[in-house]
Amino acid sequence: MERYSVSLEKFVKNLSLNIVYAPAEPSDIYLTSKDVQRPGLILAGYSGFFMPDRIQFLGLAELGYVAGLPEKEGHMALERFFSARPSTAIVSHGQEITQELCDLAKKYQVSLLSTDDSTSSIMAATISFLSVELAPRITRHGVLVEVSGEGVLILGDSGIGKSECALELMKRGHRLIADDAVEIRRVSRKTVVGSAPDNIRHFIELHGVGIVDARRIFGMGAIKMTEKIDMVIQLVQWEKNKVYERLGLVDNYTTILGVEIPIYVVPVKPGRNLSIIIEAAAMNNRQKKMGYDAAQELIHQLGLNDDIIPESQKIEVWEDYQ
């Protein structure tokens, strides 16, 4: 599995941290672990399970413990911590950065940062930031829009009408996240989010027209930087002799980066208003998440047995990330 990194410069800027010492230019220092750690055990003398690639937090408890030790033992505790060469150490609560801390950071080439935030809040912000920046990711051809609060990933062959759907949905008050290329990241075991690559963000390609800037045409309210993917719409060419889902009794899923996502296969033919269909599908998916299933409700009202409802199935739309 490929490992990703984020520069110390971007990390410091996004979390509004102060750089006390950096062994190199912050733009040339990279963080590679999304896990964090509090180094109380190594300060007390136990170095097992200490992970130097993790960001370490020196809070009130850690520095209070060191301050309560005799001077020589306190120095040995800090020396033991910095000699393990953690990637970065953050002093929280606006605590005083002593000359001893600075000297040890320089001696062992450890990035030393500070913040006025509490340890818990800065740890939560760090985990949230790194979970996105260092998440496993793939880039796929498609369109990502937010429809009625649902993140909808629209897939289909080139020229089938994905970008036109996005355009119509924006006119109806929904928002565009990405067109043509969608960068998908798994930020947790159950969540994948999508965004657009920086160099093509907010641009839409329309066959026969060319490139348009959605932000300038529709305004800031019509675009969004990132969105959780709640469902997938697979657009396919209509085939006369093929039977398509009519009642929605079967729950279909596809897997993206190991996360199961509901998928709806929508056939395309002249005269179908795809944007309205996608809008209805998004609202129906939202209802299902809130506990109401219209298809099952119809079965109950008709007095039919629940046994006729088939089991859910999985649909593969691409070779998934391994």
**Has 180 been annotated as catalytic?**
yes
The predicted pLDDT at position 295 comes to 75
Identity of residue 293: D
Domains by residue range for the chain, with CATH: 6-133 (3.40.1390.20), 137-314 (3.40.50.300)
Q: In angstroms, rounded to a whole number, what is the distance separating the alpha carbons of residues 203 and 295?
A: 38
Of 117, 179, 180, 230, the catalytic one is 180
Helix extents (H) in the chain: 8-15, 40-44, 60-67, 71-83, 99-107, 119-133, 162-171, 214-218, 274-289, 294-301
Of 85, 106, 107, 141, the catalytic one is 141
The predicted pLDDT at position 296 comes to 76
Q: In angstroms, rounded to a whole number, what is the distance separating the alpha carbons of residues 299 and 303?
A: 6
Counted residue by residue, the chain has a size of 322
Give the rounded percent of residues in the chain with a pLDDT score beyond 70: 92
Residue for token digits 């199961």?
260
Of 246, 269, 306, 307, the catalytic one is 246
The predicted-structure confidence for 160-218, as pLDDT tens digits, reads as follows 889 889 999 999 999 999 998 999 999 988 999 999 998 899 999 887 788 989 889 88
Q: Please say if the pLDDT value at position 269 is more than 90.
A: no
Q: Which of 35, 27, 26 is nearest to 3 (CA)?
A: 35
The predicted pLDDT at position 309 comes to 55
Q: Please say if the pLDDT value at position 29 is more than 80.
A: yes
Which residues is 144 bridged to in the sheet?
Answer: 153, 178
Report yes or no: 174 and 147 within 8 Å, Cβ to Cβ: yes
Token pair belonging to 182:
């969608």
**Has 141 been annotated as catalytic?**
yes
Of 34, 54, 137, 162, the catalytic one is 162
User: Who has greater pLDDT, 295 or 190?
Assistant: 190
Instruction: Say if strands 6-7 and 30-31 run parallel, antiparallel, or are unpaired.
Output: antiparallel
Q: What is the value of pTM for the model shown?
A: 0.78
